[in-house]
Structure formats: structure tokens, C-alpha cells
Structure 1
Amino acid sequence: MSKTPIWKSISLSLTSDIAEGRYQTGDRIPTEAQLAAKHGVNRHTVRRALSDMAKQGLVHARRGAGVFVAARPTDYPIGKRVRYHKNISASGKIPGKQILSLTTRAADEAEADALQLNTGDPVHVYDGLSLADGQPIGLFQSVFPALRFPDLLKALQDTQSVTKALQTCGVSDYTRISTRLTARAATATQALHLHLSEGAPVLFSTGINADPDGNPVELGRTVFAGERVTLTLNED
């Protein structure tokens, strides 16, 4: 099994320090010389780690002043009521969505099983980017039963909100009935969308939402940028 490069280990250690509040937004982190001494490496290795963090949007350098924390990873609760805009706003950041595609196609076997459909039944598919303060934190795909919600794509185009779009289609409320999380390495396409390095750690979430009667209304798949998001479990 290949070992984690030293520069990557330093990057992950500093990212953890930021996530756990040891450094706040705007704080200056230790100098290259201090970090090199702490980790027993040369300054070139530290510089690569800091460059990687800068690409992730976690730190930024000020000429002659040092390297400063640009942002802490966003806390994102996972529970019975997963509402993207509410979650991001609660973390003190500005939520946003970017539509990549809105299409209708045949459901594959896994989608049909999740939504209690037959394989090949039509489904609406919403692919997009989730943003926090304008920075991409998640690449998502939401799948909906098309026959039940014939006008959903237009509603999604108009609102860019799953909650509001479902409300216009008669679903006043919905809750999460299952969530599955796995750790993965970013593919080239995922890395491009999320502004990551290929192979960077990502969290893959699969969830099913259902209406008050227990009928599935959405299958959601999201790839979260591992260094920008802290997923938390919420019982509510």
C-alpha cells in the first residue's frame, strides 16, 4: 500500500487544526521555517503543502506578512431534515447552487429501487454544484420520479431549490429516510468541478428523501470536497 506523501500529511494536519478551531479565519499560521522544523522536513515540502491548501481555498499568502487562514471547513449537518440553504446559512456562509444539467432519462436499477419504480421508468435528473461563499463544496445529483412530478424541471430551473421545487409540485415536506457515507478519492472530473487535485479525499453521500406518507421523492448523490466540509450527524 502506498504511503501518504509527507507534504499531503502536513496539509491534512493543518486542515484539521483549522477545522477544530486552533486557527480562526484571518489568523496567521506558523511560518515555513517553523512548520519545517516541527515536521522534520525541508521548506520545499512545506511550501508544497501550503500551495495545496491555497488551491483548496483554505489559506492565502500575503507578501511579506505570511500565510493566513482564508476559511474554515463548512459544518454540514446530516439528519432527518437535510436542507442545503439552511445548513450553509447556519454555518455563517452564503449558500449557492450552480445548475450543470437538468434532464429526463430512464431510471437505472439502483435508482428504480431507491424510488420504488421499475427499471426504465422516466426520472428527472438535476446535476449541479453546491457553493458556500462562492466556493464549490459539493458536486451533486438529485433524481426524482418524473411521472409524479412532470413539471419539476421547470421548477428547479426557476428556484434552484429542491425544497421549493417540490413544494410547487405538491410536496409540502420531506425527510431523510436513509443516508450512506463513504470515503473516496476524487476522479479527474470531480476534481475539476470542485477545484481539487485528482485523487484528493472526498466524501460520497447517498440519501433518500420521502414525503410525509413515506413515498420516496428524491435520490440524492453528493461528492463533498473532503477538506472543505465537516459532516455532522443531527438527530432532528
Structure 2
Amino acid sequence: MTRRTPIWKAIATSLRSDIIEGTYSQGDKLPTEAVLAQRFGVNRHTVRQALGALAEDGIVHARRGAGVFVTTTPTDYPIGRRVRFHQNLTAAGRAPAKKVLLLESRVAHASEAEALELESGAQVHVYEGLSLTENQPVALFRSLFPAARFPEMLTQLRTDPSVTAGLARFGVADYTRASTRVNAKLATATQALHLRITENAPILRTISVNVDLDGRPVELGRTWFAGDKVTLTLSDP
């Protein structure tokens, strides 16, 4: 027997779509509970559940006596040969920041060694963190670097969380994206906690390999974007 989606979840999804498509922008006031109840043919309690879910995900916030307002709208995030987190969000008029979650060294998994063109058993440096804009988390990321080539990368990242600055520190003046794969996922409990979204909410995962000017891999990156907070776009080289 097919399970039906709760009406309040369907309403929340519909309102998310309105925000993503630009019907309501950041700072806009949503229609009142009474208007939304009439629109969707439900009672105000059901609408309140939907708005509560959006508020829990950080998409809207209620002002006592004033109504419910859109907190944030998706940020365009270009995917092209040159992808720089700080530059992308600054260009979009957003204030970027990073929070470091993990810095460690370990043996590369087989798929990681293959992507970075390393021998089996080679060490990699792992950098995991949270990308934020306007103090709102938009993505989780994991970057891996060849440890033999960049032996002091973790020390550098503890001082400055910028990957671009870290690679430049070790002689990589420029790098480009050689490949990118994108697929849709559902947020795990821990991902949802970091991204301030509900468990099983839609997220977009990218897997990319960055190379230096000689075509040698310098970084293998995985990023999990909150689907409601970022719009991935294809950019020119």
C-alpha cells in the first residue's frame, strides 16, 4: 500500500518551490495563515505545521504580530573550470565563511587514490568543513590532498581555511576543475544537523577533481549542498 505524503509536508514543499523560483524573495512576507489555508484547502493548524517545518530549516522566520518572512533565498553557485567558494558567494552579494570540522591524515581509499593518481596505500590529508553564507550553513565539504606533495597542508589550513591560499602556499598558483559529477541525495541525520535542515531533505552532492596547470590532481572534493539554499549553475570556463 502506497503511503500518502502528509498534507502539511506537501504544503511546505510547495512553499519551498515558490521561494526557490523567486515568487517570494529574501525579506518578503508570506501570505497569512488564513490566505494559505484557503489556497491549499486546509485548516490553519495544517498551514502552521508547514510553516513550522520551513522555520526549522531556516527558510522562514516569524515576527510576533507581523507575520512570517523569508529568511533566505537560494544562492547561485556556478560550477565551471574555476570554482572558488569565497569568490562565488562574494560575487553573489553574500558574505562567505567556513567552519573547520576535521583535519586529519590517513591512507587513501582505493577510489580516492585513483582519482588523485596515487599509489595504493598513499597518504592523503583530509579537510572537512561547513560552508556558510550570511551565517547560514549552505554546504558540507570534504577535500583530500596528496600528503606527499603537500606535507604541511593541514598546518596551513589551521591558520587559514582557504584551499586556494593553501595550494598557493605550496606552489600551486592556479588550478582548475577537471571533472564534476552531480547527483541528488537525501540528508542523513548528521548532515541535516550541520545544515540545519530536516533529515531526508533533498541535498545535492558534487564530486570533483581539481588539477594544477600541468594537469596533475591536487584536490579531490565532495560537497553536499542544501537543496533549498543553493542553486547550482553551469558557468563558462
Q: Specify if TM > 0.5.
A: yes
Q: Secondary structure at the match of 1:118?
A: coil
Q: Map of 1:83-102 to 2, 5 A cutoff?
A: 83-102=84-103
Whole-Å separation in 2 of the counterparts to 1:203 and 1:61: 28
Deviation at 1:2, TM superposition (A): 4.5
Match of 2:203 in 1: 202
Higher mean alpha-carbon deviation, 158-167 vs 26-35, is at 26-35
Identity %: 58
Alpha-carbon RMSD across the aligned residues, in angstroms, is 1.3
Match of 1:215 in 2: 216
Question: 1:114-163 CA distances to partner (integer Å, 9 max, x unpaired)?
Answer: 10012320000001000011111111100010001111111111110000
Question: Unpaired runs of 5+ in structure 2?
Answer: none
Question: Unpaired runs of 5+ in structure 1?
Answer: none
1:181/1:74 CA distance change after superposition, 3 Å: same
- Contact 2:58–2:197 (Cα < 8 Å) also in 1: no
- Contact 2:141–2:224 (Cα < 8 Å) also in 1: yes
- Contact 2:61–2:69 (Cα < 8 Å) also in 1: yes
- Contact 2:127–2:142 (Cα < 8 Å) also in 1: yes
Match of 1:172 in 2: 173
Whole-Å separation in 2 of the counterparts to 1:117 and 1:2: 47
Whole-Å separation in 2 of the counterparts to 1:9 and 1:92: 31
Q: One-letter code of the match for 2:65?
A: G
Q: Map of 1:104-119 to 2, 5 A cutoff?
A: 104-119=105-120
Deviation at 1:214, TM superposition (A): 0.7
Q: Secondary structure at the match of 2:141?
A: strand
Q: Under a length normalisation based on structure 1, what TM-score does the superposition of the two structures give?
A: 0.96
Q: Map of 1:127-138 to 2, 5 A cutoff?
A: 127-138=128-139
Whole-Å separation in 2 of the counterparts to 1:96 and 1:213: 30
Aligned residues: 236
Match of 2:161 in 1: 160
Match of 1:145 in 2: 146
Q: One-letter code of the match for 1:43?
A: R
For the pair 1:57 / 2:78, whether they are aligned, the reply is no
Match of 1:35 in 2: 36
Q: One-letter code of the match for 1:223?
A: W
Deviation at 1:7, TM superposition (A): 2.1
Whole-Å separation in 2 of the counterparts to 1:51 and 1:88: 28
Q: One-letter code of the match for 2:228?
A: E
Q: Under a length normalisation based on structure 2, what TM-score does the superposition of the two structures give?
A: 0.95
Whole-Å separation in 1 of the counterparts to 2:3 and 2:114: 37
Match of 1:186 in 2: 187
For the pair 1:24 / 2:28, whether they are aligned, the reply is no
Deviation at 1:3, TM superposition (A): 4.6
Deviation at 1:93, TM superposition (A): 1.1
Q: Secondary structure at the match of 1:105?
A: strand
Q: Secondary structure at the match of 1:68?
A: strand
1:3/1:224 CA distance change after superposition, 3 Å: farther
Q: One-letter code of the match for 1:50?
A: L
Question: 1:178-225 CA distances to partner (integer Å, 9 max, x unpaired)?
Answer: 111111111111111111111111111111100011111100001111
Deviation at 1:42, TM superposition (A): 2.2
Whole-Å separation in 2 of the counterparts to 1:86 and 1:47: 38
Q: Secondary structure at the match of 2:171?
A: coil
